[in-house]
Chain A
Amino acid sequence: QKEVEQNSGPLSVPEGAIASLNCTYSDRVSQSFFWYRQYSGKSPELIMSIYSNGDKEDGRFTAQLNKASQYVSLLIRDSQPSDSATYLCAVFMYAGGTSYGKLTFGQGTILTVHP
């Protein structure tokens, strides 16, 4: 079982619709969760971070975290063609008993928003 799994996609939605991206993780001690957007050939760009259960909204983006279910999602409202990209879920996992850690990424979900 992979440590971080995302719905495989690709996901295609019409312009103006809500895009829903999902991610599950296996490590219960994970503390920080991030969504990155990556355009083809570009670097991952941080768009959302979430640390506690519940919803966090930033503009058209809403991240949802449920630690009991080990589930994090990203909703994109009023999707635009410019949102077409690969969305990466990343989980900050601690290294054993230390206080340092690393990001573990899912494989990414390709989102296409068509006009």
Chain B
Amino acid sequence: EAGVTQFPSHSVIEKGQTVTLRCDPISGHDNLYWYRRVMGKEIKFLLHFVKESKQDESGMPNNRFLAERTGGTYSTLKVQPAELEDSGVYFCASSQDRYNEQFFGPGTRLTVL
């Protein structure tokens, strides 16, 4: 069984540009989560999808971040326009139901210059 995959693994962009991160969850996992770790801080929750619906987006920093999950499969997280403080590692995780363990992808390291 394939694990959670994320693309790209690294992205370096300039302030003001747009970046789109992609996550493919484990097949059959309805729950998909986005988390972020900025330098020196703990991993923090961004949002949670159940199938194609946003269940909780309380962790999204501001309206420059837009997450979608088309058809309840893969998800994208777009940052537009990117700011310096958006730099960090963005992790995606999926779980079979809301109580189960969450399995993490390898992350996308975003650097905004």
Number of interface residues of A (CB under 8 A): 26
Q: Do A102 and B42 touch across chains, with their CB atoms under 8 A apart?
A: no
A-B contact number at CB 8 A? 56
Per a CB cutoff under 8 Å, which of A32, A95, A107 touches B56?
Answer: A95
Closest to A32 in B: B99
Q: Do B50 and A103 touch across chains, with their CB atoms under 8 A apart?
A: no
Q: Give the complex CA separation of A36 and B107 in angstroms.
A: 15
Q: Do B98 and A99 touch across chains, with their CB atoms under 8 A apart?
A: yes
B33 on the A face (CB < 8 A): yes
Q: Report the interface size class on chain B.
A: 20 to 34
Interface flags for B33-74 (1: CB within 8 Å of A; 0: not) read: 101000001111100101000011011000000000000000
Q: Which residues of B contact A (CB under 8 A)?
A: 4, 33, 35, 41-45, 48, 50, 55-56, 58-59, 91, 93, 98-99, 101-107
Q: Could you pull out 19 A-B pairs where Cβ atoms are within 8 angstroms?
A: A2-B42, A31-B99, A36-B104, A42-B106, A43-B91, A44-B104, A46-B101, A46-B104, A99-B98, A100-B56, A101-B56, A102-B33, A102-B48, A102-B59, A103-B102, A105-B43, A105-B44, A107-B41, A108-B42
